[in-house]
Structures are given as C-alpha cells and as structure tokens.
C-alpha cells in the first residue's frame, strides 16, 4: 500500500494540472480572440477618432491664431507638422488616415478591408466635430472663423460660378496630390517608404501654401465637416466633399492602371 500511495498522488496531481491547463488554454483562446477583434476593428477606429480630433483642433487653432495676418504660412506649417506626427505615432494602429478621402483611396487601392471603411469615416467625422468644438472652447470667436483654413471661402466671392469651379478643381487637384503620396508612399509595395509620414505632412503644407487663398486647401471632408457643424456654416460645403472625392478617385485610377505594383495594378500584370 505504501508503494501505491505515491502513484495515486501523482495521478491526482497530474489530473488536476491537466484540468487547469485545459481551462487556462480555453481562457487564453478567448482572450486572444477578444484581443484580436479589438486590435483589428475597435482600436483602429479609436485611433482615427483620436487622431482626427487632434488634427482638426490644431488646424482650427492655427487658423484662429492667424486671423488678421496675411498669408497661410502658420496654418500650413501647423497642419503639416500635426499630420506628420500623428501618422508617425498612430499609423501602425490605423494607418493614420484622418481623412475620409484618403480612406476611400486606400481602400480602393487594396490597403484596407471594406469592413473598416464605414467605421473609419464615422470616426473621422466625429473626430472632426470634437476637434472643432475644442478649438471653439479654447478661444470663442465669431462662428465664421471656424469654417476652415482661411475660413473656408468666407473671404472669397463664391457667388460667381467661376470661383466655385476653381475652388472645386483646386480641392480635387490638391487631394489628388495628397492621396497619391499616401497610396504610393505607404501602400504600394514598390514605392513604400519609412519617410511616408514626413512626406505626407510636407504635402499638406505645400498644398495649403499653394491653394489656401483659392479654396482653403482643405483636402479633407472631416476637416471641413467638424468646423461647419460647430459654426453652423454650410455655404458651399459640398465643394469639400465633391473635390476631395474626385481627387481620391483620380488617384485610384492612376495607381490601379499605371503606377501600382503587380498586386495593385488591374492591367498589364
């Protein structure tokens, strides 16, 4: 009997350990599944919400601080630096879009799943409203001062059809430039670069310097939507949806047909 007791103890202990291991494995698989869902769907949307809110806040604050000053240097540098830094720190989580037009072009170029496109856009629009609201709380001025870079066309005579057309084309071309840099610098495998955040920030700065006096150089429906909601200023707001969307679609056409790698191109593979 004395010889059997250790065997019984060993058997009992081994069985208990096996039971605990099975339970732990089950919990581990459940935790891994929850963590995977969080990191694939929830965390990227939170990053887009947070990043867009910070970007719009800095952008609106720079415009408010530039009131009465000639030129777009302050808003251009503030937008470019803020975007570059945010892409650097949040890009590995969500891609660092902070712009519905960019998200559309990235999706159509194969850089993100369709299941994230809608949530991304909702997060970006919400972030735009939060950022604009915080900017208004920071410094309460007239509502039109929140409408965008250079007050988004409030200083431009847009009652003339030519001015409306020029503003729309300007937004389209500047968004084409921006989304091309994003898709080629961060998505396309042949041209992808670690300097993409820096290049994207510089692109935004260059576009604002070039087109700030024409259309406000928004290039971002969320950047226009947030201040428009906070200021309740909707004059010619459609420009900042039509122009960037057309620019994003042009980028997709060029990347998919001409400049993309073999995986991205739809012709001449």
For the chain, the farthest-separated pair of C-alpha atoms sits apart, in whole angstroms, at: 104
Q: Express each pLDDT in 146-158 by its tens digit.
A: 444 344 433 333 4
List Cβ neighbours of 192 (8 Å cut-off, separation of 6 or more): 185, 186
Q: What is the pTM of this model?
A: 0.82
pLDDT surpasses 70 at 93: yes
d(CA 133, CA 230): 6
Q: Express each pLDDT in 21-54 by its tens digit.
A: 666 666 677 778 888 889 899 999 999 999 999 9
Task: Classify residue 250 by burial, with Cβ atoms within 10 Å: 0-12, 13-18, 19+.
Answer: middle
What are the structural domains of the chain?
Answer: 4-259 (1.20.1080.10)
pLDDT surpasses 60 at 194: yes
**Pick the residue with more confidence: 68 or 212?**
212
pLDDT surpasses 80 at 104: yes
């Amino acid at each position: 009997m004395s010889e059997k007791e250790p065997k019984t103890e060993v058997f009992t202990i081994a069985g208990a350990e096996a039971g605990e291991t099975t339970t732990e494995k089950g919990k581990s698989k459940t935790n891994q599944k929850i963590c995977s869902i969080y990191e694939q769907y929830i965390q990227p949307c939170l990053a887009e919400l947070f990043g867009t809110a910070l970007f719009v806040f800095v952008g609106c604050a720079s415009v408010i601080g530039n009131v009465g000053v000639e030129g777009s240097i302050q808003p251009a540098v503030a937008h470019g630096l803020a975007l570059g830094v945010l892409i650097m720190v949040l890009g590995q989580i969500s891609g660092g879009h902070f712009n519905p037009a960019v998200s559309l072009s990235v999706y159509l170029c194969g850089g993100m799943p369709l299941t994230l496109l809608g949530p991304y856009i909702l997060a970006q629009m919400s972030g735009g409203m939060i950022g604009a609201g915080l900017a208004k709380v920071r410094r309460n001025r007239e509502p039109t001062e929140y409408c965008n870079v250079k007050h988004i066309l409030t200083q431009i005579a847009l009652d003339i059809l030519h001015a409306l057309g020029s503003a729309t084309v300007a937004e389209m071309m500047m968004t084409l430039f921006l989304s091309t840099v994003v898709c080629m610098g961060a998505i396309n495998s042949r041209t992808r670069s670690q300097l993409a955040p820096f290049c994207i920030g510089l692109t935004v700065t260059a576009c604002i310097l070039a087109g700030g006096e024409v259309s406000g150089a928004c290039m971002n429906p969320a950047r226009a939507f947030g201040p428009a909601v906070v200021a309740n200023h909707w004059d010619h707001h459609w420009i900042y949806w039509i122009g960037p969307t057309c620019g994003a679609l042009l980028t997709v056409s060029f990347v998919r047909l001409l400049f993309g790698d073999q995986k991205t191109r739809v012709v001449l593979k």
